[in-house]
Amino acid sequence: MVPRLVVFALGCALIAGCRSEGTAETPIADPAVMSWHQVGSWSGHGDKQTESFTSDTGGFRVRWETSHEAAPGQGRLRVVFRSGDSGREIMDAVDEHGVGQGTSYVGDRPRWYFLTIESTGVDWSVAVDETAPDRTK
């Protein structure tokens, strides 16, 4: 539970840090009311490496779900953003055990990415959305 909270807090900090300069009274962006566009969605059973995708903002929302756990308490889903250039691990987005669903907010910087999805003993679905760039400036 704590890692999800830490990831959410870091995502909110990144989103707040990416906004234009303002005063101390400028509210922090609420991920629930931000504009998002879908980068991709995948589902399966077992491991997968996605195709590469580019990011204009570096801010992501990762929606995930696991089901049909083969042995109770033994299922695992891990989703990692990797550099589209070098393949190195950039950030963990999901690391969950068992059946469930959730949303993670993570961020880095604009660049090429791909995901590695590691799964043991569960069916899974993962959807990645990127914050829409502010076109009003």
User: Model confidence over 123-137: pLDDT tens digits?
Assistant: 999 999 999 876 555
136 inside domain: no
- Residue 79: which CATH number? 2.60.120.380
Per-residue pLDDT at 40 exceeds 80: yes
108 inside domain: yes
Residue of higher predicted confidence among 2 and 67: 67
51 inside domain: yes
30 inside domain: no
12 inside domain: yes
In b/e form, how buried is each residue of 40-79, taking b as 16+ CB within 10 angstroms?
Answer: eebeeeeebebeeeebebbbbbbbbbbeebeeeeebbbbb
Pick from 130, 134, 127, 117: which is nearest to 49 by CA? 117
121 inside domain: yes
Mean pLDDT of 81-96: 97
Return the pLDDT at 29: 58
User: What total number of domains does the chain contain?
Assistant: 1
Q: Domain range holding 17?
A: 2-22+35-131
Q: Which SS3 state, helix, strand or coil, does residue 29 take? A: coil
Return the pLDDT at 136: 55
Per-residue pLDDT at 28 exceeds 50: no
Return the pLDDT at 73: 87
27 inside domain: no
Return the pLDDT at 34: 81
